[in-house]
Amino acid sequence: MRRAVVVGAALVTMSATARADEPIPSSVTLSIGDATPTTAIVFLDEDHTYVPAAALCEARICLPSSWTREDVGYVDLRAQPGVLRYQLDEEAGTLHVTVYKDALAESVIRLASPVPTDIEYATAPSLFINYAANAGFHVGTATERFDASGAAEAGFAAANTLAYTAIAAPDVDHVVRGLSNFSIDRPGAMQRVTLGDDAVLGGVLGGGGVLGGIHLGRDFAQDPYFVPQPTLTQAGVVSDPSTIEVYRDGQLVRREAIPAGPFRVQDITGTASADTQIVVRSAFGIVQTIANASALPPSALRPGLSRYDYSVGFTRNALAIDSWAYGAPATALQYRRGITPLLTLGARVEARLDRGDLGLDVVASHGRLAIEGTVAGSVSSDGAVAPAVAVNLGWRERRMTVAVLARAVGRHYSTLDLGPDDDRAEIQGDAMVGWTPAPVVSLAVHATAERRSLTGDRSTVTATSGIQIGALRLDASMGFGVINGEATVETQLMLTRALGAHTTSSTRASHDATGTGFGASASRTVQDNRGVGYDAAISTGTTTSANARVDVEHAYGRADATFDYFAGAGRLGVDLAGGVVAIGGTVKATRPIHGGFGLIAIPGAPGVRGYLDNHPIGTTDDAGNLVVPDLQPFYGNHLSVDVRDVPLALSIDRLERVIAPPRLGGAIVRLVGSSNTVTVSGTVASGDVDLSYGELVLDTGIHGPIGDGGVFELEAVPVGHHRATVEISGRSCGFELDVPARLEVQLGRVTCTMEKP
């Protein structure tokens, strides 16, 4: 269907300045679409009507120029019969241009987060140490006792490499080494090579554990802006200028105005695209809602994209109690590749000297149904062969979610960490149905059942519901379970009230086979990682229990004081956690490091407020340094300072930067330049010669008087090395002067060497 966009022009004839064989120029008032009319030059003759190509392109009709004059391209309207038509009335001075809608350029809306244009992938040699300590005293027991434990981890990072190790002290008598490795990140390829200990996870039918050896894997987290899952596209056409609104799970994530013509919404992702709704509102109030009905499993990959994890080494046993308990050689290999947007295939191999297993994976979707299936088989050294199969189904639309997991393994099925004679769930089922009939109401039913090889059968069914009314929320649940033929029933009712943005209180009533109990609790979270928070709870029934915690968080770490009481016995405890970083020649205490960190360095500027994504994070110290411990690695973190705090003597270079540090590594962020000028003071002397009331002159031409006893002060001295000369009574002496980047420099007493007469 074609629809015309009328372009009107008031035509005023000009004196011809062109050659006889050229079209005649005319000044027109040109209006393109809904834009405000503007004055433009067009050219006319008997066979051609030339309009500036740039004017048409602004109306999303970008056509190649058919004629050029004085480096300006023009399009001949008569040569575009399938794109537009026009009507020229020279006597009335009007030009009507009709543009067909299907010739308009497409409006594209991309939902994926774009990479910031000013992002800096910065890295600097840096060291971090995290520590945690816990101590407690038990009271009310037969024997009062003291306990203590602790843990620490450290890492040195440089140029996307990381040397890391961890230790733990489960009690005062033992210290155990945790994971230790050296890794190299390749963000461009989203790849990581690790030498040493690393965790291995084999999926729903695979094994797990820690291998010490060589590991190669693809890590999509090295590019947070990359979307590895398949994405969907929704296209359409609007006849009038419209507004497109994109909703995810009922929340507005994008609103954009588009002109008439075709449009396309790209990069629609999620576990089920039916959660994405596109609402098109025309200028005349017509509303059209578009919802996709295709499932997108989160483990699916884009066509042609692969994900892999290869590990070869030795199993590490008794990780919690032994530092060097490495066992038999083992390997774990996983590979998965996107075939089509709706199909991903994979394979997995695990092997050690006494057993091995092989698995094949498929991830597919059909309509709103997402399917993940795995078949596997294992063989052990005693000749036992066992199969295994698992199917995970998911169905979701805006108000309802259904998830079903079914898993069955042979009696002697074995993996990297599961022996052929170990206890296992031979048959396992897990199903969940969630329904949200209204934004403030939720209902869910969760059922599980399993048959274990050694410890018997168990099954549970739990129904939960919740309703939110303003600051109040009411939750109710009922659970029914059977373990080895013995049935249990549990019910609970809880009322929660929000007391502001960070404080909540709740009351609870419950009933089970032991009787009826009541409880109450209150909690307050710490804001912006600084301040005081708490939580306290008490419950009564067949036994009485209580616990309380006060949490104090600071720029240097966290301290908790705890009290736990149960059945007549209690424990008083203290927890401490924090970190230390070394970067850019400074060592600072900070909160524990979990991702990346940065150092805002403004030499000579103490007390400058710093911000991370516009949230205050602290002020620079006496040396002008501020450590920022909460940066996301490989992601653009927006760091800035308050210009009002920067001394006037400092030259302002940049007040903000977008920094992406490495994993568990640091970056130095210099937001302002060095001081232009410095005030320098001191006392100058030269043996027995009294330099009082002489004149001090620098090689830059700056000069100033010397007071009684050789005291001097010079203002606006440039940073750097200078030669200073003292002139007095026809004689002169000199000395070298180094001026650092500070606001003021106090030299103390300096010696001036007299020049020979």
Over the stretch 695-746, which tens digit does the pLDDT of each residue have?
999 988 888 898 988 999 988 888 778 899 998 887 888 999 888 766 678 8
Q: Report which of 358, 363, 339 is spatially closest to residue 347, judged by C-alpha positions.
A: 358
Mean pLDDT of the chain: 85
Pairwise CA distance, residues 681 & 735, whole Å: 14
pLDDT over 80 at 290, yes or no:
no
pLDDT of residue 9: 38
The CB-side HSE value for 613 (13 A sphere, CA atoms) comes to 8
For the beta sheet containing 703-705, the strands, ordered from the edge strand earlier in sequence to the opposite edge, are 703-705, 695-698, 720-728, 731-739, 753-754
Burial of residue 522, with CB atoms counted within 10 A of its CB: 0-12 exposed, 13-18 middle, 19 or more buried: middle
How buried is 562 (Cβ within 10 angstroms: 0-12 exposed, 13-18 middle, 19+ buried)? Answer: middle
Give me the pLDDT at residue 33, please. 57
Contact in structure between 311 and 331 (CB atoms under 8 Å): yes
- Least confident interval from 65-79, 467-481, 613-627: 65-79
Higher pLDDT, 384 or 254: 384
Torsion of CA 29, 33, 34, 39, to 10 degrees: -20
What is the share, in percent, of the chain residues with pLDDT greater than 70? 87
Q: What is the pLDDT of residue 7?
A: 39
Amino acid (one-letter) located at 712 = F
Are the C-beta atoms of residues 60 and 48 closer than 8 Å to each other? no
Looking up tokens 């066979």 gives 47
**Residue 34: its pLDDT value, please?**
58
Choice between 103 and 333, residue whose per-residue pLDDT is larger: 333
Average pLDDT over residues 534-557: 91
| Domains within the chain, CATH numbers bracketed | 6-105 (no CATH), 231-291 (2.60.40.3110), 677-754 (2.60.40.10)
> What value does the mean pLDDT take over residues 44-67?
76
Is pLDDT at 85 greater than 80 in this prediction? no
**Which residues are paired to 742 by β-bridges?**
none
pTM for the whole structure:
0.74
- Length reported for the chain: 757
Bridge partners of 619? 609
Q: What pLDDT, on a 0 to 100 scale, did the predictor assign at position 12?
A: 39
Note the pLDDT of residue 243: 84
pLDDT digits (tens, 9 = 90+) for 455-513: 888 999 999 999 999 889 999 999 998 887 788 899 999 999 988 878 999 999 999 88
Per-residue confidence (pLDDT) for residue 270, from 0 to 100: 56
Average pLDDT over residues 748-756: 86
Q: What is the pLDDT of residue 1?
A: 36
Q: How confident is the model at residue 4 (pLDDT cuts 50, 70, 90)?
A: very low
Instruction: Choose between 391 and 731: higher pLDDT.
Output: 391
Tell me what the mean pLDDT of segment 45-73 comes to. Answer: 77
Q: What pLDDT was estimated at residue 60?
A: 64
Q: What is the pLDDT of residue 742?
A: 67
**Quick one: average pLDDT of 122-132?**
94
Query: How far is Cα 752 from Cα 682, in angstroms, rounded to an integer?
Result: 12
Give the mean model confidence (pLDDT) for residues 559-566.
92
Q: Give the span between the Cα atoms of 698 and 704, in whole angstroms.
A: 9
pLDDT for 676: 63
Would you state the pLDDT for residue 230? 84
643-695 pLDDT tens trace: 888 877 676 667 889 999 999 999 998 876 555 677 889 999 988 888 888 89
Each residue of 178-219: pLDDT tens digit?
999 999 999 989 999 999 999 999 888 998 899 999 999 999
pLDDT digits (tens, 9 = 90+) for 392-449: 998 877 778 899 999 999 999 999 989 898 888 899 999 999 998 888 899 999 999 9
Looking at residue 251, its pLDDT comes to 74
Task: Give residue 293's pLDDT.
Answer: 52
